[in-house]
Structure 1
Amino acid sequence: MSTKAKPIMILGCTSDAGKSLVVTAICRLLANRGVQVAPFKAQNMSNNAAITKDGLEIGRAQYLQALAAKTTPSVLMNPVLLKPSADTFSQVIINGKVDHEISNMPWMARKKLIWPKVLTALESLQNEYEQIVIEGAGSPAEINLRDGDIVNMSVALACQADVYLVSDIDRGGSFAHLLGTWACLAEEEQKLIKGFVLNKFRGDPNLLGNAMQWLEEKTGIPTVANLPYYRHQLPEEDSFRLGTTWQRGAINVALIYYPYASNLDEFDALIYQEDVNLVPIQHVQDLSLFDAVILPGSKNSGKSLAFLQQTQLDQGIIAFAATGKLVLGICGGLQVLGKEIKDPFALEDGDKNGLGLIDLSTTLAHQKETQQNIIKWKNNTLETYQIHHGESVVLTDNVEVFIDKNMGWKQNNIHSSYLHGLFDNAVFYNWFMQQVGAAQNGINWKKHVDQELDKLADMFAQHGWL
């Protein structure tokens, strides 16, 4: 493979070490310096996905990294996406489209089919851009997974990347993580590592003493950066903030946090608004004190619905709906709110009876709908996207169109839509706040994210190695 600059690759000692954020920071830093840069992650596992302009599906993290790089998001940047929909099953997205055959193959049997697609995507990016910044997945020291590796050291060796190994020092044991991970690598892999990175550091750097010198004496590799614990308002790759509870004096919105909830980053505009308190609800409780309830998307609406029924959260939602307050279902949440979910191709959890709060019937289609949508609504433009198998139809005249025909419906105080990304638009945010009697102070969230990317790049310029 030829490229204008050696790829930079960011690996982590553990999941959630901060690989994604470091790649994002590097992409924006280099882009601000005028470098033609692109992100790459061979394989991502997340139910937070994004849709490219050409209607293809990639991980949300790579989509954000492309925006950080000031370039157009492409499936080349994430050729393989795994979307968990059961404890031992993930839907496999290859080059932006579902591959049912590979999805049903054993894990270790997939590499021979997927690896050529990874190499093709990487080579295409290298031919197009001056600099590629690559993100690994989990840890390269997972000995049991090395034979099937298509995302960590296999990629590093294929393109002879300059590798930097990141450890989350906030967890503790950081130097042991770095030394142990390095020791688990083959000699040819160790030679690719150019530096260690401490991430999420709090406190006085002097407390590190001679630990970095000790580590370099053991490995021959310097610690090139000590990045501070950095609070940001950027989308998370695959996690969600838990632990918040109802707060007096705030606008309290209950987010039903069922298994396989997806695309939760679309509620960031609520999470980071000072006068709004978004509370993830995982257990049955009295919802009457809340101002609104949201049912988010789901990678498996049937299993999410079954969870609500098993925990009796379904009764709590039904009781809340009877108060006349706002209930909003997005995508999978729309399906759960309806009368029934039909699953003729056994894509999810079989046929289910929904909550019955809106007179809709959903059938899960074999073909997935994935596209960006720009919609005129209330004399404004909504920038949204779709990503769903479900096709829903109205059962009675009690149901009205919500936002756009065939993509959203309302019945009394129950509102639903297949459109993701609604809260990124100030006009929808303000509509929502009007329904709950709160301040209509929405902003263009996409512009806000762009400003956050510049702040992240500034932090990395101060504490990083580039």
Structure 2
Amino acid sequence: MRPIMLQGCTSDAGKSLLAAGLCRALVNRGFQVAPFKAQNMSNFAAITPDGGEIGRAQWLQAKACRLAPHTDMNPVLIKPESDMRSQVIVNGEVDHEVTKLPWMQRKQRLWPHVESALARLQSKYDVVVIEGAGSPAEVNLRAGDIVNMAVALHCNARVQLIADIHRGGAYAHLLGTWHCLSASEQNLVQGFVLNMFRGDASLLAPADEWILQQTGIAVSGCIPYWPHRLPDEDSWRHQSSFIQGQTNIAVVVYPYASNLDELDVLLQEEGVNLVPIRHGQSLVGFDAVILPGSKNSLASLAWLHEQGLAAQIPKVAHRFGICGGLQILGESLAAEDNSQQAQGLGLLPLTTSMQANKVTQLTTVKTEFDVSVTGYEIHHGKTSGKAEKHLDDELGWRQGQTIGVYLHDIFTNDDYRQWWLEQLGWRGQVRPWQQRIDQELDRLADMLERTGWVDNVVKQEG
């Protein structure tokens, strides 16, 4: 079967979620399916079994396909480190030479890796579900494109063009995007998808007929607004405020915060309330504060001081740092060349120095209370000191009610999550996380099947 490609009129049109749902629907129909995104830009990353780094969205899509994630599913990952600098991951590993190149000069170096990865997936699976990035209508970037129409043309993909109708102007977005494409690219578009719809779908009929007359392409799917409990691709959309009577956990969303999706597991527990802290608001009354990972720990630490949060964090009853958050909780941290050094919050007697080599691996270790936990490591830092051991292999420390770990996804371990929440005074029983993710993917696939969109996509083969 020819590859199916989901492209969007805009960023955040819902491509990642629809790709995951389509993957699971096709797998449930008996197809062997693999996901693919040539280039992802996100600080939400996952680790493959062989230690490669890919975007978290492709990790979820691999799970939807009931596959282990592989670097072929996302051969290029771009991780922003500042407004003008990003780290480039190629085939799961940092490529320092490509990282130094200007954006528009990277295609020559990266395109062969995209071709090879896609070819390997096509040789192994019945169908590859491909996700684009941003929009193919970003005409200023077309010369360097390795993720949208360049991929579609290369593999003769059947393109579904998605618009978020909730934003308004969806038909104009679809028509305008289609007009920005070349004739050969337009010929690959086989359906328009209206995503996030609320209301009476029958009211769309005149507009559906209009866009068919304008382009010769029919609306293949109208996807309803669907509140989901799956991890987001590259941004943490959760919004909440302090709720009296619940276990309230402040999550500090500083600049370059990474892998915030690993905290979604806490959101699903009854009586647990996570509150994003995006500016210098009060932390009074919170049961705990979490400092998540960071792609730039020094910049994130400076922001904490600017916002007045550095002085508040020690006053919160329980403190938990993950990766970059662990480094910030220590006494000091320094850049690899010592060009930048800073005092940490001093809540853990630890020092961190950045290293040239990046550690990326899946890991299973024992906790201080002799329970095994599994997660993944993504870090440049080397940390040491006199804090009490919390995890084996120098992956976690504690000092009183302050805990810092290098192990991402630690809260997805049900026993550990139960233990930590009980330390905060929570009384309840956690629900199995991995089972919930799988059930949610099936719910998503069933919803897409009911709309008729999956049928339309499969029938367009040829």
Q: TM-score over 0.5 for the alignment?
A: yes
The 5 Å alignment of 1:438-457 reads 438-457=426-445
Q: How far did 1:379 drift?
A: 5.3
Q: Judging changes above 3 Å, is the alpha-carbon distance between structure 1 residues 379 and 334 closer, same or farther for their aligned structure 2 residues?
A: closer
Q: How far did 1:344 drift?
A: 2.4
**More off after superposition, 302-311 vs 182-191:** 302-311
- Asked if the contact 2:269/2:431 (under 8 Å) is kept, the reply is no
Q: Aligned pair 1:140/2:129, yes or no?
A: no
Q: How many residues end up aligned between the 2 structures?
A: 453
Q: Aligned pair 1:364/2:360, yes or no?
A: no
- Asked if the contact 1:402/1:409 (under 8 Å) is kept, the reply is yes
- Asked if the contact 1:425/1:443 (under 8 Å) is kept, the reply is no
Which of 317, 323, 330 aligns to 2:322? It is 330
Q: Secondary structure at 1:185's aligned position in 2? A: coil
Which of 402, 410, 413 aligns to 2:398? It is 410
The 5 Å alignment of 1:384-423 reads 384-394=375-385, 396=386, 399-423=387-411
Q: Aligned pair 1:26/2:19, yes or no?
A: no
Q: Secondary structure at 2:263's aligned position in 1? A: helix
Q: Secondary structure at 1:402's aligned position in 2? A: strand
CA offsets per residue over residues 75-108 of structure 1, 9 Å max, x none? Answer: 0000000001100111100000011111111000
2:35 maps to: 39
Q: How far did 1:242 drift?
A: 4.3
Q: How far did 1:209 drift?
A: 3.5
CA offsets per residue over residues 149-192 of structure 1, 9 Å max, x none? Answer: 00000000000000000000011000000000000000000000
Aligned partners of 2:450 and 2:284: how far apart in 1?
48
CA offsets per residue over residues 112-153 of structure 1, 9 Å max, x none? Answer: 000011001000110111110000000000010000000000
Aligned-residue Cα RMSD (Å) equals 1.2
Letter in 2 for 1:365: Q
2:373 maps to: 382
TM-score by length of 1: 0.95
- Asked if the contact 2:25/2:454 (under 8 Å) is kept, the reply is no
- Asked if the contact 1:252/1:279 (under 8 Å) is kept, the reply is yes
**More off after superposition, 264-273 vs 375-384:** 375-384
Q: How far did 1:402 drift?
A: 0.6
The 5 Å alignment of 1:121-270 reads 121-270=117-266
Aligned partners of 2:337 and 2:75: how far apart in 1?
25
Q: How far did 1:310 drift?
A: 1.3
2:459 maps to: none
**More off after superposition, 57-66 vs 423-432:** 423-432
Q: How far did 1:302 drift?
A: 0.7
Q: How far did 1:319 drift?
A: 2.9
Q: Aligned pair 1:431/2:419, yes or no?
A: yes
Q: Aligned pair 1:102/2:92, yes or no?
A: no
- Asked if the contact 2:22/2:454 (under 8 Å) is kept, the reply is no
Aligned partners of 2:68 and 2:250: how far apart in 1?
34
TM-score by length of 2: 0.96
- Asked if the contact 2:389/2:397 (under 8 Å) is kept, the reply is yes
- Asked if the contact 1:339/1:361 (under 8 Å) is kept, the reply is yes
Letter in 2 for 1:96: G
Aligned partners of 2:443 and 2:13: how far apart in 1?
20
Q: Secondary structure at 2:391's aligned position in 1? A: coil
Aligned partners of 1:344 and 1:70: how far apart in 2?
39
Letter in 2 for 1:383: T
Aligned partners of 2:336 and 2:63: how far apart in 1?
38
Letter in 1 for 2:454: W
Which of 331, 339, 343 aligns to 2:335? It is 343
CA offsets per residue over residues 421-463 of structure 1, 9 Å max, x none? Answer: 0111111111111111112411221111011001011011111
Letter in 2 for 1:306: A
- Asked if the contact 1:258/1:307 (under 8 Å) is kept, the reply is yes
Aligned partners of 1:143 and 1:374: how far apart in 2?
46
Q: Secondary structure at 2:280's aligned position in 1? A: coil
The 5 Å alignment of 1:105-116 reads 105-116=101-112
- Asked if the contact 2:166/2:198 (under 8 Å) is kept, the reply is yes
Q: Aligned pair 1:297/2:293, yes or no?
A: yes
Q: Secondary structure at 2:162's aligned position in 1? A: strand
Q: Secondary structure at 2:213's aligned position in 1? A: helix
Q: Which runs of 5+ in 2 are unaligned?
A: 456-462
Q: How far did 1:373 drift?
A: 1.1
Aligned partners of 1:94 and 1:233: how far apart in 2?
30
- Asked if the contact 1:345/1:366 (under 8 Å) is kept, the reply is no
Q: Aligned pair 1:17/2:10, yes or no?
A: no
Q: Secondary structure at 1:31's aligned position in 2? A: helix
2:447 maps to: 459
Q: Aligned pair 1:353/2:335, yes or no?
A: no
Identity %, equivalent residues? 52
CA offsets per residue over residues 335-379 of structure 1, 9 Å max, x none? Answer: 000111111247xx8222111111100011111111101234445
Aligned partners of 1:151 and 1:389: how far apart in 2?
28
Q: How far did 1:380 drift?
A: 4.1
- Asked if the contact 1:285/1:316 (under 8 Å) is kept, the reply is no
- Asked if the contact 1:431/1:440 (under 8 Å) is kept, the reply is no
Letter in 2 for 1:358: L
Q: Aligned pair 1:88/2:84, yes or no?
A: yes
Letter in 2 for 1:340: S
Q: Secondary structure at 1:429's aligned position in 2? A: helix
